[in-house]
Chains A and B, each alone.
Chain A
Amino acid sequence: MLRVIVRRLLQLVVTLMALSALIFIWLRNLPGGPVEALLGERATPERRALLTKALGYDQPILVQYGKFMQRVLTGDFGNSIRTGDPVTEVISRAFPATIELALAAMIIAVGLGVPLGYLAARWRGRALDNLTIAGTLLGISIPIFFLGYLLKDVFTQNIHWFPPSGRLTTGLDNTNVTGFFVLDGLLTREFDASADALWHLILPAVTLATIPLAVIVRITRASVLDVLNEDYVRTAEAKGLRHRTIRGRHILRNALLPVVTTIGLQTGALLSGAVLTEKVYNWGGLGTLITDSISGGRDYPVLQAIILLAALVFVVVNLLVDLSYAFIDPRVRVR
């Protein structure tokens, strides 16, 4: 077990290294490259040369990469070109916001998706099932930023149930502990701030949850259908077990194994979706940071760090999912 974990961790490191190298090299070999992107096409050669030297881009690529990695390992990703702040600082300000949003979306997707998928499978071919399938197909076919605007229009303009954007009502002061505003409010006993943050969180989270929800519903449904046909469910029925026991211990326990995997894979969809959702709701997280880093002159150090961070999150989550299998599926344990 331990050996597997160590091996997986090593591979994780190798992947991230490879990814960073690819991005690094790509960045510096693009037509125009970062210097042109920063200065624009009509910059004078002198200014270009100056900036190239200032950024260290005149050195051999391997040397540059070596220096970059050296700094990265000490936690230094350089400074933002746009604001001049250290990249780590910029990112650590935005990171909790995105995680809070993504977690809320995942809670919605799992909390709603699993029961819906189960019910659809139990009532296969009935109205509920057909409706659910239609809903999931629509869910994966709708551009989620459009859905975001739609929800925003309905729930903040027509009926004023939710605030249109931001993470907190302006003027409301909260104490920042973890950066998760809902949690912070609870920790500092500023319950009004917590409630306000939650109120702001709902619409963006629902928007972001759309695709993972659709996927989880479908996986759960398909998986439950598979399990319903299994002999051990028939055995459980033959034992005269209560419906509750059969559903929980025999059907869901088995049917949820593929769903756990899906949750890991949906991390990717969440991170992608967060970029769009955050822009719609002006949510100050990584997604906004990406958008700003692109539109306000390409802020390469920030972009580079965010991409690596996103890959790290995705890889780590999926590693955790795989490892969790050892605890939820006894057949994996022996291997």
Chain B
Amino acid sequence: MSLLDVRDLSVVFQRRGERPFTAVDKVSFTVEPGQTVGLVGESGCGKSVTSLAIMGLLPKRGNKVTGEVLFEGTDLLRLRPDDLRDRRGREISMIFQDPLSSLNPVIPIGIQVAEVLERHQGRDRKQALRESRDLLDAVGIPDPQRRLSEYPHQISGGMRQRALIAIALACKPRLLIADEPTTALDVTIQAQILTLLKQLVDETGTALVMITHDLGVVAGLCDTVNVLYGGKVVERAPRHELFAHARHPYTHGLLNSVPRLDSPRGERLHAIRGSVADNIPWAEGCAFAPRCDNVVDACLEGPPPLEPTAGGGDLRCNNPVSEEVAVR
């Protein structure tokens, strides 16, 4: 049994007086224990909404979530809110993009770590704070004893994200969802945080869902990668397979748009044309069709199905790319 088995997850936003918007469209993927899985795509592709839906953190009103999110066989979407609350932070944790705004500005760091332990492990304040100090130490925060009583604005951005990681891993969850954990950080800090995450999930055997738009992050971390476009998975492949043989024109475009040091001088960067705003609804064809170089007639005659590929992945494309992309 997979640790996490997401089946046909859809999220439709419906605001009064506005047309419903399908942010996530029958997304399915699995995460095995200890595995690291990437959800990759541009902003607006539905990757963050997917993660919030899994966690049950979408607003109570204005959206409709369908499908199944099986966590060790239990459908989280059908769990009573209190039961889900018991699991959040204990069995499944999440870290967010902006470490500053994700921490409560008027509560000391120590309490913000300790309260998870108090809630889920039944520790008293004193014991929880002692363990919090060790946790801060484990995520590489210097002088952890002092940090316990400091406030988020008093420590650096990198340290804040480390603190959030400490919070997320405090109860040794089986699954950690990281939503763009390095985007808001300095480039030099990004690598440190990724290394730390990798090291921690390896040590604890925690499975990791890595949500990112940055293929560099995926390359260094993920076992399997799901590429999302317009709310649907368009390509899924093991990491090496993806980087070696990206089949979907969108994935291909993403890989080609990364500047590389070893590319010949004068070679132009391949940007993907247009923007997500150009998408057509999946019901009418492939959402990526207006931006696609490989577009064929079939692309405008209904959504292409997601089909298994020879490389052990899945692909949703009528006219995939055949040329090889060199492994980075």
Contacts and interface: CB of A to CB of B under 8 A. Distances in A.
Does B associate with A?
A: yes
Which of B85, B90, B98 neighbours the largest number of chain A CB atoms within 10 Å of its CB? B85
A143 B89 CA distance: 52
Contacts of B96: 231, 234-235, 238
A124 B115 CA distance: 28
Contact of B88 (A238, A253, A257, A329): A238
Contacts of A232: 101-105
A240 B86 contact: yes
A254 B88 contact: no
B interface, over-half SS? mixed
A176 B90 CA distance: 60
Contacts of A331: 105-106, 151, 153
B119 interface: yes
Q: In the complex, which range does the number of interface residues on chain A fall in? A: 20 to 34
Nearest to B86: A240
B115 A235 contact: no
Which of B87, B94, B115, B168 neighbours the largest number of chain A CB atoms within 10 Å of its CB? B115
B222 interface: no
A235 B1 CA distance: 29
A35 B101 CA distance: 64
A interface, over-half SS? helix
Contacts of B153: 330-331, 334
Contact of B107 (A237, A242, A253, A334): A253
A99 interface: no
B154 interface: yes
A192 B94 CA distance: 59
B317 interface: no
Interface string A207-250: 00000000000000000000000111011111111110100011
Nearest to A235: B102
B89 A254 contact: no
B289 interface: no
A25 interface: no
B310 interface: no
13 contacts: A231-B96, A231-B102, A232-B102, A235-B102, A238-B93, A239-B119, A240-B87, A240-B119, A241-B89, A243-B85, A245-B115, A253-B106, A254-B104
B119 A330 contact: no
Interface string B95-124: 010100111111110000001100110000
B167 interface: yes
B115 A238 contact: no
B55 A249 contact: no
A328 interface: yes
A241 B115 contact: yes
B305 to A, nearest CB: 34
Given A231-B96, A331-B153, A334-B154, A240 B89 contact: yes
Contacts, number: 82
Contacts of B106: 253-254, 257, 328-331
A254 B151 CA distance: 14
Contact of B101 (A231, A245, A334): A231
Contacts of A239: 88-89, 93, 115-116, 119, 167
Nearest to A257: B106
B85 A235 contact: no
B34 to A, nearest CB: 21
A206 to B, nearest CB: 33
A86 B102 CA distance: 60
Contacts of B85: 240-243
Contact of A236 (B55, B87, B104): B104
A327 B164 CA distance: 25
Given A231-B96, A231-B102, A232-B101, A238 B89 contact: yes
B28 to A, nearest CB: 23
Which of A238, A239, A241, A328 neighbours the largest number of chain B CB atoms within 10 Å of its CB? A238
B221 to A, nearest CB: 21
A241 B164 CA distance: 15
B156 to A, nearest CB: 15
Contacts of B168: 238
Nearest to B177: A238
Contacts of B261: none
Contacts of B115: 239, 241, 245, 249
Contacts of A238: 55, 57, 88-89, 93-94, 96, 168
Given A232-B102, A239-B115, A253-B107, 7 more contacts: A231-B98, A234-B57, A237-B88, A240-B119, A254-B104, A330-B153, A331-B151
A234 B102 contact: yes
Interface in A276-320: none
Interface in B120-179: 120, 151, 153-154, 164, 167-168
Nearest to B90: A240
Contacts of B101: 230-232
Nearest to B108: A330
Contacts of A235: 96, 102-104, 164, 167
A255 to B, nearest CB: 11
Nearest to A250: B104
Contacts of B86: 240
